[in-house]
Structure 1
């Protein structure tokens, strides 16, 4: 099986932008992102700091949430969200 493109992995800056877009630019967004992705908040902190890369499955999950919304959020039509502008 060929390797997956590295562009699928979120950078720390992309993860930060995604977390803020999903949960707002206010205290607690990192904790909400950790809960939504099923990881400990310390993992989010390490990924944001760049000490370890964001794992592929988390990158894909966050990209999915950006498109369709975080878990438990009602979707109006099942259609992808329009890009934030």
Structure 2
């Protein structure tokens, strides 16, 4: 049960794309899965902790995966944990 549908809509990027939200999500998932599948073939690091164990609020779940070769540029997205649909690998 969504206690605040308007707030949920404001935080749902797919609602602001100017297209059908389900179409946007389906395309995003398709592209994401294809890209992840390609990148995971290359050398990568998984489950790299990015938080010091002595930090207040330490969580063993605070880890990052690096997929694909790193050449000139690297983009790191640290997700806040608010998964709305699917999982890390789907």
- TM-score interval (norm. to shorter): under 0.3
Greater fraction of residues in strand: 2
Bigger CA radius of gyration:
2
Between the two structures, name the one with larger relative contact order (CA 8 Å, sep ≥ 6). 1
